[in-house]
Amino acid sequence: MSKKKIIVIGAGFAGIKATKTLSKKLKNEAEITLIDKHSYHTMMTQLHEVAAGRVPFTNAQYDLHKLFAHRQNVQILTDEVIGLDKENKKVTTKASGVLDFDYVIVAIGGEPNDFGVPGVKENAFTLWSMADALKIKRHLETVVEKASLEHDDDKRKALLNFVVAGSGFTGIEMVGELIDWRQVVARDYKLDASDITLNVVEMMPTILNTLDRSDADKVVKYLSKKNVNLLLNHAITEVATDHIKIKDGADIPTHTLIWTTGVQGNTQATAYGLAESERGHRLTANAYMEAQGFEGQGIYVAGDVSGFIEEATGRPTPQIVEAAEQTAHTASENIIADMTGGDKHKFVGKYQGTMVSVGSKWGVASLMGKLHLSGFFAMLVKHLIYILYTLQIGSLWYFFTYLKNEFFHTPNDRNLFRGHTSRLGNVLWSVPLRIFYGFVWLTEASTKWVGDGKLLNPSTWFGKGSWFTNDLHFPFAWLKETATTAADAAAGASTEAATQAADATAAASGAASSGAAEATKSAAEFGLSYSYGHEPLAVLDKVPNWLEPIFKFMIPNKEVALFMQKFMSIVEVALALALIVGAFTWLAAAATAALTVMFSLSGMFYWVNIWFIFAAIALMNGSGRAFGLDKWIQPWLQKHFFGWWYGKSKSLYK
Ligand SMILES: Cc1cc2nc3c(=O)[nH]c(=O)nc-3n(C[C@H](O)[C@H](O)[C@H](O)COP(=O)(O)OP(=O)(O)OC[C@H]3O[C@@H](n4cnc5c(N)ncnc54)[C@H](O)[C@@H]3O)c2cc1C
């Protein structure tokens, strides 16, 4: 059977979801082509962070090739779809010509709606693409720099007056980022932060009108605490380069108007000749997400561009991520059902909640309409949702990129933990610790190797106490039992006299040794440093009950124990050398921390050495990159390993 050709137009939240679903369930039955204008998926929900310079733009660009590197049945094409021939089942692209399809999903998203207000197109900034976000970012820098050199007070005030039009999610999230940004630019350009004015202009009497009132009120309070002016009942009638006009009100001087008043379907879809709603340009769909007028012909729509009227609300599906993914799920499941003869699915929107961040540290969240959070916990939930998203699309790469850019590499304290997780210091200062710690492990390991032998004389290596002899060093009770049982069996054939003699010797030596022990015994006591005559206290004196079965499973008898002893001694030397030369330092340090924890749980480690764990954690800071081999190993690995795993990322996929 020849493979069906499926084209997904648009690699937004809807397009990614559809492509993932189709490629997973139609491994051998279909060839899927995902076409997008860009070589990456734009994390629209983070554009305000890019615009206000909180995160690098790469944080919001998920390379498509990386997302689909191991999907054999997915082709990525960077191109713009400019036409759709429904009858002959072909899409026309700008650069790659015409492509045939059996099924198509149109998921080209939305665009800002200017509601016909004069001057918006020419003079306002929109926030609906990466290009938009970067344009705002550049403008913000330029205008502040200009203001810092402006002598005329009025002109300077206008340059430092920033206006966000619209108080929906996008507008409030944008102004929230500007609150944090204001402090940073004021410092950088030697301005007074209070000279930078932030405004939200809203034509309605309230803000965040799709939110619960109690949540919205918390945002109002927070904005006023942060000196953001809320200009309510203000309808903008015209936008010029240096001011905006307000209906029945005075002009507002500004050089920066960020327009976030509403979204409509992508007007490019008009060229596809599908039925669309008059207001909002949304492509009309039935409950199966089939384009109206082309039911049963393999033409589906999904995401912000689609406009299925939901029974529950009588309104089109909301233009949010959840709706984008759910409409895409319906469309792709119905394509699968059509191909495999299964039952078709009707779309039913299930929305779990809303979250609005106001800057990097504060936000509100409403979960399932029941749980209302604000501040730290609301932001924590929002981060968790993002992290889950990276896992849901199966991308460990972007999971780590997200963590890095949102928590660990965020300059100017602009993260949820107020910079505590991202204090960047010079790893040079930890190089002495790395080398010292490496030598500590080397000493520890060499004691295990040599015992009371002599390291400098190989013929006497492995003296008494060496882990390379057949002496058992693990203090586990069950190993002693097996060793004793074996000895008992061997001794079974010996004479009674011999036994008695042995008993007598044992008793004598026992008495002698206990006497000696008595003589030298001092009480083990807790302490994080030694003082003469004190015995260090073991972290645990024996393996805890819950762990014993696991250890018993891993080290069931003396043979395995002896092997493990030798193996661990070798591993310790390897870790020590890795730390000293700074090779794979993160892994080596993490492994030493894990070993220390394991030794502690085995009853083989003392409180006095507990600093091993904390030194190891401190050394996971990239210390191998300063005067260490990691300076070369890590970039080499990144280039070759990730190149092999993901292929090469490109600006255009043809
Ligand atoms: C700043 C901001 C914050 C937001 N915050 C939230 C939030 O917190 N929660 C939430 O649920 N929603 C939020 N949204 C809305 C959310 O981002 C959208 O609902 C979602 O992106 C819609 O997904 P989509 O796949 O339909 O479209 P999009 O994500 O817009 O993707 C459309 C894709 O189609 C491509 N494309 C367009 N035209 C063509 C063409 N002709 N040929 C080929 N490719 C084309 C585009 O390049 C794009 O990749 C936010 C939006 C913004 C801008």
| Rounded-to-integer distance, Cα 124 and Cα 103, Å | 39
Is residue 508 pLDDT above 70, yes or no? no
In the prediction, which pLDDT does 449 show?
Answer: 87
Among the listed residues 260, 256, 261, the one whose alpha carbon sits nearest the alpha carbon of residue 161: 256
| Cβ–Cβ under 8 Å, residues 179 and 413 | no
431-450 and 585-601 helices cross at what angle (nearest 10)? 50
Quick check: helix, strand or coil at residue 543?
coil
Q: Return the bridge partners of 122, or none.
A: none
Regarding pTM above 0.75, the answer is yes
Which residue matches tokens 């280039």? 639
Quick check: helix, strand or coil at residue 239?
strand
Nearest atom (ligand 1) to Cα of 35: 43
Ligand 1 touching residue 328 (CB < 6 A) = no
Ligand 1 touching residue 354 (CB < 6 A) = no
Quick check: helix, strand or coil at residue 541?
coil
| Rounded-to-integer distance, Cα 408 and Cα 241, Å | 38
Domain 125-261 maps to which CATH number in 3.30.300.30, 3.50.50.60, 3.40.640.10, 3.40.50.2000?
Answer: 3.50.50.60
pLDDT in tens, 102-133: 999 999 999 999 999 999 999 999 999 999 99
Residue 66 banded pLDDT, cuts 50, 70, 90: very high
Two domains, one topology: 4-110+265-351 and 125-261: yes
pLDDT in tens, 355-368: 999 999 999 999 98
Ligand 1 touching residue 130 (CB < 6 A) = no
In the prediction, which pLDDT does 470 show?
Answer: 85
Amino acid symbol at 226:
K
Cα 303 to ligand 1 centre (Å): 8
Cα 130 to ligand 1 centre (Å): 10
Ligand 1 touching residue 16 (CB < 6 A) = no
Q: How many CA atoms lie within 13 A of 123 on its CB side?
A: 18
| Cβ–Cβ under 8 Å, residues 176 and 46 | no
Q: Quick count: other Cβ atoms within 10 Å of Cβ 490?
A: 9
Q: Quick count: other Cβ atoms within 10 Å of Cβ 544?
A: 11
Ligand 1 touching residue 9 (CB < 6 A) = yes
Amino acid symbol at 621:
N
* Residue spans per domain, the chain: 4-110+265-351, 125-261, 354-408, 427-479+527-653
Ligand 1 touching residue 36 (CB < 6 A) = yes
| Rounded-to-integer distance, Cα 99 and Cα 278, Å | 29
pLDDT in tens, 164-190: 999 999 999 999 999 999 999 999 999
In the prediction, which pLDDT does 483 show?
Answer: 56
Ligand 1 touching residue 14 (CB < 6 A) = yes
Cα 648 to ligand 1 centre (Å): 25
Ligand 1 touching residue 259 (CB < 6 A) = no
Residue 406 gets which letter from DSSP?
I
pLDDT in tens, 236-292: 999 999 999 999 889 999 999 999 998 999 999 999 999 998 778 899 999 999 999
Q: Which of 50, 211, 320, 356 to mutate to test the pocket of ligand 1 (most atoms within 8 A of CB)?
A: 320
Q: For ligand 1, atom 20, which residue shows the shortest CA distance?
A: 321
Compute the radius of gyration of the chain from its Cα atoms: 34
Cα 86 to ligand 1 centre (Å): 24
Among the listed residues 343, 376, 342, 380, the one whose alpha carbon sits nearest the alpha carbon of residue 362: 376
Q: How many CA atoms lie within 13 A of 474 on its CB side?
A: 31
Ligand 1 touching residue 111 (CB < 6 A) = no
| Cβ–Cβ under 8 Å, residues 61 and 145 | no
Among the listed residues 581, 355, 401, 348, the one whose alpha carbon sits nearest the alpha carbon of residue 40: 401
> Check: CATH 3.30.479.10 for 4-110+265-351?
no
Pairing of strands 283-284, 306-307: parallel
Any idea what the Cα angle at residue 75 is, between residues 74 and 79, rounded to 5°? 140
In the prediction, which pLDDT does 511 show?
Answer: 36
Would you say the C-alpha torsion 197, 202, 206, 207 has a positive or negative sign?
A: negative
Cα 283 to ligand 1 centre (Å): 15
pLDDT in tens, 566-623: 999 999 999 999 999 999 999 999 999 999 999 999 988 999 999 999 999 999 999 9
Cα 269 to ligand 1 centre (Å): 14
Cα 129 to ligand 1 centre (Å): 8
**Mean per-residue pLDDT, 27-37:** 96
| Rounded-to-integer distance, Cα 326 and Cα 317, Å | 10
Q: Which of 43, 45, 317 to mutate to test the pocket of ligand 1 (most atoms within 8 A of CB)?
A: 45
In the prediction, which pLDDT does 521 show?
Answer: 54
Quick check: helix, strand or coil at residue 359?
coil
Which percentage of the chain shows pLDDT scores above 70? 92
Q: What is the DSSP string of 563-632?
A: HHHHHHHHHHHHHHHHHHHTSSHHHHHHHHHHHHHHHHHTT--BGGGTHHHHHHHHGGGTGGGSSSTHHH
